[in-house]
Chain A
């Protein structure tokens, strides 16, 4: 039948055309590059990559609902590259951030990471994205043997059984332990409630917070989860409000769950509210308003830090973007800087040398705190900080340096 022949012919033509278009287009495509000075995000596209630059690859969600975090990370990374270039670059050469949007889609992430390794020939890959996408590309960097640094994704699987993937941010287990420790040891709670976001972040932290709290003599009297899109926490909070002598409410959600704070206040909950890195964003104060005062959270970005790196970063980020920095931006900054430090100390762009140099980093002064060292599993050992909201600002409250807490399990 003619229509069948047409169909088959059309499909064959389509496949050939697709292959030709992709391949041929590919050869002529101008690569999107970051401008060397990173003021605000610009849309300029260089037609050819400046010769002799060192390329650092970066991917993050820049469209879709996760774009807020994606942009935070991108700003942090661009700032790092700009700082590096202002100081003369790396090994005498300018640095370029080759970045792509992954749309928070595993397939897109796979495509862009493949592209940046093979075509753009980046020396290091930085993930400014979430767990799902980072996990999807991990096998690719393992196969191509290019180091990848994950800025802030918390899932243990990201670094587990991998040789080329590193993590500069906090890991789910350590952060969870820190939250439990904060509740029982820092805020002296005997009874603790845990309410967590039902995504890998929340689940990992909750499990570990519970373990740690109980290990330190506390009693977890409430333990439940909510959906990430939740806006009304009263069903849980009413039950929590009814618990007598509750010392702490560990709330493992994000700044966009700020309603939980306002609703908790409205319901008269007096227990200390303790959050984690999800709360680490100026949006928290913007959204919760005055109710945020008194809320504490565990993170690695200490706004009151005496570290010059941190303070310069905070001022710089605000100056360049107009928004106050958050943990995501700081982590991305550190990921790029860690890569740069490793390249410098290896004095080479050989991937294995960079990887070994990364593994051997000690006392790395990052914007988001100090990385004492990496474990053999390539996770960062770093002290954390408890920040508290006072006068609508994030202030230092306490530090967490106990090695048992801050060392990621191997």
Chain B
């Protein structure tokens, strides 16, 4: 269930990128993994978890921005399959480079954060879970404030709704794109380091687990709707855990998410909150 919060952070970032560029940014998972590794490296060097978190975010912002500038920007405006293919290629590239630089074995991520369990009657919650929940909630709140209470956030929402119109009324679309990527990638990096700490390990292909689930979440929440992404992530996280304990594995977890998605789309093609998914035909 705690994992739902991580999906939320990742999905928010994905949604923001999708909102401005209409690209399914699978490379987001590569940014996430790199954030985790950057954070781990700094933690091993300094022992300071906050600095590690900051570096994780900084590294992912840099990589995310580079991807946007050098990979996506030049090829916009054509069939969306091209950026999708490139995005997957970049994700594989980042994962493989992590393997080459840091080694292919998973690396342990043990922090000095004391592991304690708090009990409230039947419910128990560990200090690690608290960390994840607090970190994700505060970042979600921060992003929500950014998007809904600042000028650039307003511009961002305008571009997400209708980029041509936004441009016509003077919005600097390039700045908005950069903004969305920076915020989105920061969320990915944060998610990465949190996952590393929570599970006490990182591995080069760790992004693989979230890459495709992230997609499910943004569809569940409706493309482009940040609120929907948040709710979608939580619902997915909770239902996965619940169903696994209740029914057992009649299908592996990943496909379970997709199965839910397919069924949902059959009956409600616009996702939970989003715009219409159907053609008007």
Identify the A interface with B (CB < 8 A).
Answer: 63-65, 67-68, 70-71, 198, 224-227, 229-232, 235, 238-239, 255-256, 258-259, 262, 266, 283, 286-289, 323
Given A224-B248, A258-B201, A289-B200, 13 other A-B contacts at CB below 8 A?
A: A67-B104, A68-B104, A70-B104, A71-B104, A198-B252, A224-B249, A227-B253, A255-B106, A256-B201, A262-B200, A266-B117, A266-B126, A283-B105
Residues of A with C-beta under 8 A to B200 = 258-259, 262, 287-289
Min C-beta distance of B85 to chain A, whole Å: 18
Q: How far is the CB of A122 from chain B (nearest CB, A)?
A: 26
CA A71 to CA B205, docked complex, whole Å:
16
Contacts of B103 in A (CB 8 A): 68
Size bracket, chain B contacts:
20 to 34
A-B contact pairs, 13 of them (CB 8 A): A63-B99, A65-B203, A67-B99, A68-B104, A198-B252, A226-B249, A227-B253, A229-B252, A232-B3, A232-B241, A235-B241, A256-B203, A287-B201
Whether A65 and B253, one on each chain, are in contact in the complex, defined by CB atoms closer than 8 angstroms, is no
Question: In the assembly, what is the distance between CA of A360 and CA of B275, in Å?
Answer: 71
Q: Which residues on B sit within 8 Å (CB–CB) of A235?
A: 241, 244-245
Which residues of A sit under 8 angstroms from B263, Cβ to Cβ?
none
- What is the CA–CA distance of A108 and B252 in the complex, to the nearest angstrom? 27
A residues near B244, Cβ cutoff 8 Å = 235
Q: Is B208 an interface residue (CB 8 A)?
A: yes
Binding site secondary structure of chain B: mixed
**Interface positions of B from 69 to 118, Cβ below 8 Å from A:** 96, 99, 103-108, 110, 115, 117
**A231 close to B199 (CB less than 8 A):** yes
Count of inter-chain pairs, beta carbons less than 8 A: 68
> How far, in angstroms, from A68 to B100 measured CA to CA in the complex?
11
Q: Which residue of B96, B126, B201 is within 8 Å of A63 (Cβ)?
A: B96
Per the bound structure, the CA–CA distance linking A286 and B107 in Å amounts to 7
CA distance A68 to B107 in the complex (A): 11
How many angstroms from the CA of A259 to the CA of B195 in the assembled complex? Answer: 12
Could you say which of B115, B126, B204, B252 has the most chain A C-beta atoms within 10 Å of its C-beta?
B252
With A227-B252, A266-B117 as contacts: A259 and B108 at CB distance below 8 Å: no
| B164 at the binding interface (Cβ < 8 Å) | no
Q: Is chain A's binding surface mostly helix, strand, loop or mixed? A: helix
Question: How far, in whole Å, are A238 and B124 apart by their CA atoms in the complex?
Answer: 12
Residue in contact with B108 in the complex, picked from A67, A231, A289, CB distance below 8 Å: A289
B205 CB contacts on chain A under 8 angstroms: 64-65
Q: How far is the CB of A103 from chain B (nearest CB, A)?
A: 11
> Which 6 A-B residue pairs are closest in the complex by CB-CB distance?
A67-B104, A68-B104, A227-B252, A235-B245, A65-B205, A286-B108
A234 and B241 alpha carbons, distance in the complex (Å) = 9
A103 to B208, CA, bound (A): 16
Contact B3 A227 (CB under 8 A): no
* Cα–Cα, bound, A370→B245 (Å): 43
Contacts of B204 in A (CB 8 A): 65
Within B208-248, the residues touching A (CB, 8 Å) are 208-209, 241, 244-245, 248
Residue of B with least CB distance to A254: B106
Distance, CA A259 to CA B198, complexed state (A): 10
Q: Are A229 and B201 neighbours in the complex by a CB distance under 8 Å?
A: no
Cβ contacts under 8 Å, B126 to chain A: 266
Assembly CA distance A112 to B110 (angstroms): 40
